[in-house]
Structure 1
C-alpha cells in the first residue's frame, strides 16, 4: 500500500489561521477559550498540546503555574512559527511527528490537550499515543467537533482552497464513542461542556482523568 502524505503538510499556516478565524467559522477564539477553561480546571504543572499548529491558546498559559510545555505537530513550518511567537515567554519543547504512527518521546505530563486531532488522525494509534503521554492521575482533554445541525459540510467552505484538501480526511468522532474508548483505557470523564459555533456547528470539550 502506498504511503499517503498528510494534507497538513501542504496547508500554509496563514491559510489555516485565516480560515479558522473567518466569521463563518470562528473557531480560533473558541478553541483558545476551551483550552483556557481546561487549564483552569486542571492546573497542570506540565502540559502537552497535540496538533499545536501556530500556538493558538498558548497565550492563555501562565508560565509561573505550568512550567513544562510540550508541543507536537506534523508540520515543521507550524512549529517554527510557534518558536518565533512564544519561545521567549514560554518553556517550550517541540516535536515534529505523526501522532497516528509515532509516539511522543517525552516523560508523561499532567495534562494532554487534543483539540480537533482525532477527527484527522483517528482514534486508534493517535489516541494510544495521547494516552501514553498522560501521567498517573493526570488528565486528557479533547475538543471534538459536533455533527452540524444542518447540511453544512464538516470542513466549511473557505476562501482558502487548500483547506478543502482536509474534507476527505476529516471524520467526526462522537463523544459517546470517545467515552467508551477512554473507559477501556482506564480513564473516567470528569467534566464536559459544549460551545456553539456559526453555521449550526459546535464543539464538545471532555476532560478525562486517568484512574489510579
Structure 2
C-alpha cells in the first residue's frame, strides 16, 4: 500500500496544521528546545516543509538534517531554507525501512512521527543518529473522545485516519528504557479539550551515569 503521506499536497498539509493549531505549537516546542540545548547539529524528523526551521540560528546550529518521506515537501523546504541554512542536509527516506545516514545529531526533534512509524522500529534508529551527549525530544499526541486526525476542509488529510495510531505513554516509557535512554523530563501542552501534546526529553548520556 502506498504511504498516504506521499499523496498529500504540501499546501493541504500546511493549511491543515495551521488551522488546527498544531503547526504553531510544534514551532514553539522546537524553538524552546533550540534555546535550551543550543545544539551544534539538529535532526528534524518528519520535517515536512519546515515545521519550525525558522527558529534555527545557523550561527549556533551549523548543521541541520531535515528528514521526510515526501519529496514534494522537501523541495519546498529546500526552496525556503536552502540559502538561510548553509549547513542544511536534506534526506528523503522512509523511516520505517531506511537507516538515518548520520550519527552526530546533538538534538533530534521528532514531532508527531511515531504515530505513523512504529516506535519500536524508529527509536533505535534515532538512538544511532544521536551524538553521545545529545538530546532526543519526542512529541506525541494524545486524543480524548475525538478522531486522531481533526477533520478540516483539506480532505487529503483524511487519508491518514486509517494509518495513524496513537502511542501509549506507558509503552513509550518502557521502550525508551529498553533502548538505554533516560526520560529526563515530560511536558504536556493542551491544544484543546480533545487533544494534548506530550513532549519527552531523553538523554543517553544520563542513562549511563
TM-score by length of 2: 0.94
Q: 1:88 aligns with which of 83, 87, 91?
A: 83
The separation in 2 between residues aligned to 1:180 and 1:41, in whole angstroms, is 26
Secondary structure of the corresponding residue to residue 119 of structure 2: coil
Q: Is the 8 A contact 1:50 1:72 kept in 2?
A: yes
The 3-state SS of whatever aligns with 2:125 is helix
1:21 maps to 2:15: no
Question: 2:105–2:129: 8 Å Cα contact kept in structure 1?
Answer: yes
Give me the whole-angstrom Cα distance separating, in 2, the residues matched to 1:51 and 1:195: 20
* SS of aligned partner of 1:121: coil
Match of 1:68 among 46, 63, 72: 63
- Find the residue that maps to 1:28 and give its secondary structure: helix
The ranges of structure 1 where at least 4 consecutive aligned residues each deviate by more than 6 angstroms after the TM superposition are none
| Alignment partner, residue 171 of structure 1 | 165
Look up the match of 1:98.
94
Q: Unaligned stretches of 5+ in structure 2?
A: none
Q: Deviations over 1:134-174 (max 9, x none)?
A: 111211101100132xx210111110111000011111112
- Check whether the contact 2:120–2:175 (CA below 8 A) recurs between aligned residues: no
Shift of residue 199, structure 1, vs aligned partner: 4.5
Of the three residues 127, 133, 137, the one matched with 2:129 is: 133
Q: Displacement, 1:106?
A: 1.5
In structure 2, what is the equivalent of residue 34 of structure 1?
Answer: 29
RMSD: 1.1
Number of residue pairs the alignment of both structures matches: 205
CA deviation profile, 1:42-79 (whole Å, cap 9, x unmatched) = 22110101110010210111111111000110000111
Instruction: Pick from 176, 194, 203 the counterpart of residue 200 of structure 1.
Output: 194
Which shifted more, 30-39 or 192-201? 192-201
CA shift digits 1:77-96 (9 cap, x unpaired): 11110100011111210010
Please say if residues 38 and 207 of structure 1, whose CA atoms lie closer than 8 Å, have aligned partners that are also in contact: no
Secondary structure, aligned partner of 2:184? strand
Hey, what's the Cα distance between the residues in 1 that align with 2:75 and 2:193? 32
CA distance in 2, matches of 1:112, 1:96: 16
Q: Output aligned runs, 1:118-157, within 5 Å.
A: 118-148=114-144, 151-157=145-151
Report the Cα distance in structure 1 between the residues aligned to 2:189 and 2:170, rounded to whole angstroms: 17
Which sections of structure 1, spanning at least 5 residues, go unmatched? Answer: none
Give the whole-Å Cα distance in 1 for the aligned partners of 2:12 and 2:120.
28
1:99-128 Cα distance to aligned partner (Å, 9 max, x none): 011101123211111000000111122222
State TM-score, norm by structure 1: 0.93
SS of 2:143's equivalent in the other structure is: coil
CA distance in 1, matches of 2:9, 2:190: 27
